[in-house]
Amino acid sequence: MIEIHHLDKQYGNDREGTALHDINLVIDRGEFVFIVGPSGAGKSTLMKLFMREILPTRGNIKIFGRDITRLKNRQIPFLRRNIGMVFQDFRLLSDRNVFENVAFALQVIGTSRREIRKRVPTVLEMVGLKDKVWKKPDELSGGEQQRVSVARALVNRPAVLMADEPTGNLDPQTSSEIMDLFNEINVRGTTVIVATHAKEQVNRLQKRVIILENGCMVSDQERGVYCNAY
């Protein structure tokens, strides 16, 4: 589903700006993958490349069978519709309630009101927020706000859910709940990719772990072999 060959990403012109170096990676449909590594390792850069927010300096990125580095600008929204994205800082609209925040992702792609009224409650129930539908973000806990952003990422029914440090602002208990939610989403069939440096979570969930250090992939567990490699 995702395939990367000899990928380099350099910001600016000097070698100092090398964020990723010679990355080779295959992620299959249905996998749950952690991308770990210290701050500055290149995790966010990799996710931005997947979303076509930035282009690689060298190499290509195949997603759903297409080289996304060659997409025309008007094709990019179709890629992004198939990738749900969750961020550390939630990125919710503060003046809109939970329902509206999730509905917004459907409104921008022209989904009918009828379909929105059907889909939003379903996804909010799935993430455990059906009692908070009319709350504004500032009336919710951090964990609840992150659940809203997970619901927003899922409401388009993407093939892949990506999360960049999704528990970076959450306490350990809440972090576990959010990671368990990702696991549940994966069990239901969505491919999940989580960049994190929450070691306890990585070791607890026992999934495939890709380790980045200084822009290099220093380890990728063989699929099917899960251990505490981190």
Q: Is-contact 152 104, C-beta < 8 A?
A: yes
Distance CA 98, CA 173 (A): 22
Cβ proximity to ligand ADP: between 159 and 216 the closer is 216
Strands 83-87 vs 66-67: parallel, antiparallel or unpaired: unpaired
Q: Quick one: what does residue 175 bind among Mg ion, ligand ADP, none, with the CB cut-off 5 to 8 Å set by partner type?
A: none
Distance CA 76, CA 220 (A): 29
CB atoms within 10 A of CB 50: 22
Distance CA 29, CA 220 (A): 17
Interface segment toward Mg ion; rule CB under 5 A; list 15-23, 43-51, 106-114, 166-174 = 43-51
Cβ proximity to ligand ADP: between 197 and 207 the closer is 197
Q: Quick one: what does residue 150 bind among ligand ADP, Mg ion, none, with the CB cut-off 5 to 8 Å set by partner type?
A: none
Q: Tell which residue, 96, 110, 105, 99, has the closest CA to residue 161.
A: 105
Min separation Cβ 72 and ligand ADP, Å: 23
Interface segment toward ligand ADP; rule CB under 6 A; list 22-30, 39-47, 76-84, 167-175 = 39-47
Q: Tell which residue, 223, 229, 224, 217, has the closest CA to residue 46.
A: 217
Q: Is 43 among the residues that bind ligand ADP (CB under 6 A)?
A: yes
Cβ proximity to ligand ADP: between 87 and 99 the closer is 87
Min separation Cβ 62 and Mg ion, Å: 23
Interface segment toward ligand ADP; rule CB under 6 A; list 40-48, 105-113, 127-135, 171-179 = 40-48
CA angle in degrees (0–180, nearest 5) for 37-144-152:
80
The residues that touch ligand ADP, with contacts defined as CB under 6 A, are 11, 17, 19, 37, 39-45
